[in-house]
């Protein structure tokens, strides 16, 4: 069987930044500020709601609306922009020399305005945790991002420490991630306030709840802690350094139906079908599309969807022929659950409390009877 | 379209069954030696007697395999690899374990008939009760009431009188089924299935500890050596392999512990009625309650977490 866990042999990040069209979902309550045939520049505001803007990732022409794509498996209207491949912007960005020069309010305002992170920065928190561990063992997005931008990430973390007056900062990475262990170890000496912590390569250590439990005591967590993953930190860097919105995203593309697994830098709003067609070689027509991890992710009906800020990875895997057999009562789902839930009981009792579930998928992964617990236990999207 | 996990662990019924069977092999080899080879070499039995132990064990496995194939291939028409169909449930293991548990004096036709019918019924009704315990009780009762009795002693054991001490039991000279008496090999096997995580070890440990405590008290009161009480009549083997049957035992941590304690407590109680059947009756009763035990444990844990 093809080992897809270590299938990404090419350590470079590939670019797919020139799609023919960009599709922006028209979200409920958003007011569209452009009309058909308008010419838009990169970073122009396309729609907005309560001060939150959605920006154009490319320059080009608005060709209209389309309802042929899906967002989270649901039909949605999309604003379609045809790329003119010029990447024109209104005015070039100045670069801020020292991002630690921002004051607290200005920094938080910029982060919120440009939606660099979904995490609300608690200004009273005394601890900062940087999560550099990929959520799913088959993803490489965070690992590649650290490898390519460790200097920027460390600079941003240092700025956050100074501006937010953080007392303790831990940068957690996987101890199996050899390149980054070496990379960060050689750079981190310049930042005495940041402590590098190597975590064991055990799934689901990349989940916020599990990582926190392994790093801090309950009392320390209760005192207030900010948890940012490296993507958040990199986005914060982009926003603070260049004062520009987040228009690109790193995505892992892998799976048994793909010959050349890779990590690719892609424009937000790119069609997944376009991306796969242009970036990869697909070796099998009958496949499932899975986003955000083979264990923790969700299945899409097809590639007729787009890259959003929430997409970390895309996997194309052949259709699985493993049949579910009746439960053998082994109790492994219960034993392995990191949140100490009882998936078998939850499956059999509709009213059982699933709120603690972090949707890591371990119960389904471990089940000898190949029972799929995910539709029953899915509770709380934590990140 | 369903939301699923697209990589799975290697853990499967086939994998669990095969590991448990492989770790049972040293006990089976000793059983074949004790109840076949040794008797034949010393002139206690003929060539058929030499192969009798292995015939019981292999025929048990064969019945389990046939029933799985019959149900999966013929009735359900499942299209899968042969090995996956053979190990679609634990019936091969049940057959082998019954072959190990019965006395060498068991009537082979009774054994084959009971094992086939009971395994068939258990497959049909999806294993609601510990089928090994029930099958054993039926085999025992048929022998007691129609075939004139049931004894664990083989021809060599009956030819002389032994005074067994603790070490005799440890090296397999105690009284029990075909391949269940060697306690050292059983301990190695128990360690093996626990290390490979193919056993509900909490049931084994809680039941063994409970039985040791209860028999120790009784031993002091009755002056019967604790080893005689504990290491005869397949007790240890039953607590390691039969009570821990995956399908019919509790699966929550606390449920497994309560299950084990109940099995041993009832075994101790039934010991005074029939020492051979005691653990089987206990397991049959407690296996009927396994869902209730788990539900109560789960409710208790949920209430205390809130």
Q: Tell me the two tokens of residue B145.
A: 């009431």
Q: Is residue B5 part of a domain?
A: no
The partner residue sitting opposite B5, judged by closest CB among A301, A344, A365, is: A365
Q: Tell me the two tokens of residue B266.
A: 């009832």
Report the pLDDT value the prediction gives residue A5, as an integer from 0 to 100: 56
Say yes or no: B47 and B148 in one domain. Answer: yes
**Contact A79/A47 with Cβ under 8 angstroms?**
yes
Q: Do A320 and B4 touch (CB under 8 A)?
A: yes
Say yes or no: B157 and B27 in one domain. Answer: yes
Full strand arrangement of the beta sheet holding A78-83: A21-25, A78-83, A60-66, A39-40
Q: Quick check: bond before A204 cis, omega within 30?
A: yes
Say yes or no: B59 and B116 in one domain. Answer: yes
The partner residue sitting opposite A372, judged by closest CB among B4, B11, B126, is: B4
Q: Which domain holds residue B119?
A: 11-197
Report the pLDDT value the prediction gives residue B1, as an integer from 0 to 100: 43
What is the pairing mode between strands A262-267 and A248-254? antiparallel
Tell me the DSSP string of chain B. Answer: -----SS--S--HHHHHHHHHHHHHHHHHHHHIIIIIHHHHTTSS-HHHHHHHHHHHHHHHHHHHHHHHIIIIIIS---S-HHHHHTSSTHHHHHHHHHHHS-TTS-HHHHHHHHHHHHHHHHHTT--S-HHHHHHHHHHHHHHHHSS------HHHHHS-----HHHHHTT-SS-STT---HHHHHHHHHHHHHTT-S-HHHHHHHHHHHHHHHHHHHHHH---HHHHHHSTTHHHIIIIITT-STTS--SHHHHHHHHHHHHHHHHHHHTT-TTTHHHHHHHHHHHTHHHHHHHHHHHHHHHH-
Residues 6+ apart with CB under 8 A from B304: none
Backbone angles phi, psi at A282, to 5 degrees: -95, 130
Domain end marker among B163, B197, B231: B197
The pLDDT tens digits of the residues spanning B109-150 come to 999 999 999 999 999 987 779 999 999 999 999 999 999 899
Q: Do A335 and B7 touch (CB under 8 A)?
A: no
Say yes or no: B215 and B112 in one domain. Answer: no
Rounded to whole angstroms, the Cα distance separating B186 from B194 reads 12
Say yes or no: B45 and B116 in one domain. Answer: yes
Report the pLDDT value the prediction gives residue A1, as an integer from 0 to 100: 37
Is A219 buried (19+), middle (13-18) or exposed (0-12) by CB count in 10 A?
exposed
Domain end marker among B197, B232, B250: B197
Q: Do A353 and B302 touch (CB under 8 A)?
A: yes
Q: Is residue B2 part of a domain?
A: no
Say yes or no: B76 and B99 in one domain. Answer: yes
* Closest by Cα among A335, A344, A343 to A359: A343
Contact residues on chain A for B295, CB-CB shorter than 8 A: 345
Nearest Cα of chain B lies from the Cα of A257 at a distance, in angstroms, of 12
Say yes or no: B262 and B118 in one domain. Answer: no
The partner residue sitting opposite B251, judged by closest CB among A290, A329, A370, is: A329
Say yes or no: B183 and B51 in one domain. Answer: yes
Please give the biggest Cα pair distance in chain B.
70
Q: Is residue B81 part of a domain?
A: yes
Q: Is residue B296 part of a domain?
A: yes
Question: What domains does chain A contain, in order, with CATH numbers?
Answer: 13-90+246-318 (no CATH), 99-242 (3.40.50.11540), 332-377 (no CATH)
**Contact B261/B207 with Cβ under 8 angstroms?**
yes
Number of domains in chain B: 2
Those of residues 6-65 in A touching chain B at CB distance below 8 A are none
The pLDDT tens digits of the residues spanning B252-283 come to 999 999 999 999 999 999 999 999 999 999 99
Report the pLDDT value the prediction gives residue A9, as an integer from 0 to 100: 65
Whole-prediction pTM value?
Answer: 0.86
Say yes or no: B214 and B175 in one domain. Answer: no
Say yes or no: B144 and B293 in one domain. Answer: no
Report the pLDDT value the prediction gives residue B57, as an integer from 0 to 100: 97
The pLDDT tens digits of the residues spanning B203-254 come to 999 999 999 999 999 999 999 999 999 998 999 999 999 999 999 999 999 9
Q: Do A374 and B4 touch (CB under 8 A)?
A: yes
**Contact B71/A326 with Cβ under 8 angstroms?**
no
- Any chain B CB within 8 A of the CB of A290? yes
Domain end marker among B169, B197, B225: B197
**Contact B242/A322 with Cβ under 8 angstroms?**
no
CA angle B249, B250, B256 (to 5 degrees): 110
Say yes or no: B276 and B299 in one domain. Answer: yes
Q: Do A332 and B12 touch (CB under 8 A)?
A: no
* Closest by Cα among A55, A85, A19, A46 to A264: A19
**Contact B21/B97 with Cβ under 8 angstroms?**
no
CA angle A274, A278, A281 (to 5 degrees): 115
CA distance between the termini of chain B: 35
Q: Is residue B299 part of a domain?
A: yes
**Contact A305/A290 with Cβ under 8 angstroms?**
no
**In Å, how far from its chain's centre is CA A52?**
20
The partner residue sitting opposite A330, judged by closest CB among B251, B253, B301, is: B251
Residues of chain A whose pLDDT is less than 50?
Answer: 1-2, 380-383
Rounded to whole angstroms, the Cα distance separating A150 from A190 reads 12
Rounded to whole angstroms, the Cα distance separating A249 from A115 reads 13
Q: Is residue B108 part of a domain?
A: yes
Rounded to whole angstroms, the Cα distance separating A152 from A155 reads 5
**Contact A257/A283 with Cβ under 8 angstroms?**
yes
- In which residue are the tokens 């100045």 written? A94
Backbone angles phi, psi at A131, to 5 degrees: -95, 105
Q: Three-state secondary structure along B167-216?
A: HHHHCCCCCCCCCCCCHHHHHHHHHHHHHCCCCCHHHHHHHHHHHHHHHH
**In Å, how far from its chain's centre is CA A8?**
18
Q: Is the interface score ipTM higher than 0.90?
A: no
Say yes or no: B104 and B213 in one domain. Answer: no
Report the pLDDT value the prediction gives residue A383, as an integer from 0 to 100: 45
**Contact A187/A154 with Cβ under 8 angstroms?**
yes
Residue % of chain B over a pLDDT of 90: 82
Contact residues on chain A for B78, CB-CB shorter than 8 A: 323
CA distance between the termini of chain A: 32
Q: Is residue B30 part of a domain?
A: yes
Q: Is residue B193 part of a domain?
A: yes
Rounded to whole angstroms, the Cα distance separating B68 from B126 reads 12
Q: b/e map of A175-213 (b: 16 or more CB within 10 Å)?
A: eebeebbebbeebbeebeebebbbbeeebbbbbbbbbbe
Rg of chain B over Cα atoms, rounded to whole angstroms, equals 20
Report the pLDDT value the prediction gives residue A82, as an integer from 0 to 100: 96
């Amino acid at each position: 069987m093809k080992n897809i866990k270590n299938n990404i042999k090419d350590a470079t990040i590939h670019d797919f930044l020139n799609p023919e069209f960009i599709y922006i979902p028209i979200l409920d309550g958003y007011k569209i500020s452009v009309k058909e045939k308008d010419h838009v520049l990169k970073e122009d505001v396309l729609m907005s709601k309560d001060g939150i803007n959605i920006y154009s990732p490319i320059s080009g022409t608005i060709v209209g609306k389309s309802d042929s794509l899906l967002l989270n498996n649901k039909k949605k209207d999309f604003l379609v922009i045809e790329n003119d491949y010029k990447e024109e912007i209104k005015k070039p960005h100045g670069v801020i020399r020292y991002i630690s020069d921002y004051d607290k309010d200005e920094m938080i305002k910029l982060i919120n305005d440009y939606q660099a992170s979904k995490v609300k920065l608690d200004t009273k928190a005394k601890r900062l945790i940087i999560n550099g561990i990929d959520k799913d063992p088959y993803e490489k997005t965070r690992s590649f991002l650290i490898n390519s931008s460790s200097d920027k990430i460390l600079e941003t973390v240092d700025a956050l420490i100074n501006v937010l007056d953080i007392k303790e900062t831990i940068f957690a990475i996987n101890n199996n991630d050899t390149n980054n262990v070496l990379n960060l170890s050689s750079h981190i000496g310049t930042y005495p306030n940041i402590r590098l912590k190597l975590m064991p390569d055990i799934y689901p250590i990349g989940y916020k709840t599990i990582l926190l439990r392994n790093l801090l005591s309950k009392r320390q967590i209760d005192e207030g802690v900010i948890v940012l993953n490296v993507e958040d930190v990199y986005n914060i860097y982009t926003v603070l350094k260049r004062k520009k919105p987040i228009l690109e995203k790193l995505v892992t593309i892998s799976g048994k139906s793909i010959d050349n697994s890779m990590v690719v830098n892609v424009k937000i709003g790119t069609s997944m079908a376009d991306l796969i067609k242009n970036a990869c070689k697909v070796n099998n027509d009958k496949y499932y599309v899975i986003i955000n991890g083979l264990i923790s992710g969700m299945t899409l009906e097809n590639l007729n969807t787009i890259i959003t800020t929430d997409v970390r990875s895309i996997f194309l895997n052949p259709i699985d022929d493993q049949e579910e057999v009746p439960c053998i009562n082994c109790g492994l789902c219960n034993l392995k659950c990191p949140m100490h839930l009882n998936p078998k009981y939850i499956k059999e009792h509709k009213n059982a409390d699933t709120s603690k579930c972090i949707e890591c998928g371990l119960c389904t992964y471990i089940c000898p009877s190949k029972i799929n617990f995910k539709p029953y236990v899915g509770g709380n999207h934590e990140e | 379209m369903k939301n699923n996990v697209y990589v799975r662990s290697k853990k499967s019924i086939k994998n669990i069954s095969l590991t448990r069977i492989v770790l049972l092999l040293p006990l089976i080899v000793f059983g074949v030696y004790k109840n076949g080879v040794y008797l034949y070499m010393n002139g206690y039995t003929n060539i058929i007697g030499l192969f009798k132990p292995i015939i019981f064990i292999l025929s048990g496995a064969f019945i389990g395999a046939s029933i799985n194939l019959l149900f999966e291939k013929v009735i359900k028409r499942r299209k899968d690899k042969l090995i996956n169909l053979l190990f679609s449930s634990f019936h091969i293991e049940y057959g082998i374990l019954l072959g190990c548990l019965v006395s060498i004096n068991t009537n082979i036709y009774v054994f084959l008939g009971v094992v086939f019918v009971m395994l068939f019924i258990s497959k049909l009704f999806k294993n609601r009760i510990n089928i090994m315990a029930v099958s054993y009780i039926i085999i025992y009762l048929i022998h007691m009431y129609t075939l004139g009795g049931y004894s664990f002693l083989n021809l060599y054991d009956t030819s002389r009188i032994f005074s067994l001490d603790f070490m005799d039991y440890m090296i397999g000279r105690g009284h029990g089924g075909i391949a269940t008496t060697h306690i050292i090999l059983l301990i190695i096997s128990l360690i093996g299935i626990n290390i490979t995580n193919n056993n509900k070890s909490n049931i084994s440990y809680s039941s063994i500890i409970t039985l040791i405590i209860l028999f120790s008290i009784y031993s002091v009161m009755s002056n019967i050596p604790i080893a005689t009480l504990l290491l005869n009549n397949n007790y240890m083997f039953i607590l390691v392999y039969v009570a821990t049957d995956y399908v019919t035992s509790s699966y929550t941590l606390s449920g497994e512990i309560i299950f084990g304690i109940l099995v041993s407590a009832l075994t101790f109680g039934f010991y005074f009625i029939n020492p051979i059947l005691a653990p089987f009756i206990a397991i049959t009763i407690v296996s009927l309650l396994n869902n209730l035990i788990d539900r109560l444990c789960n409710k208790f844990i949920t209430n205390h977490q809130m």
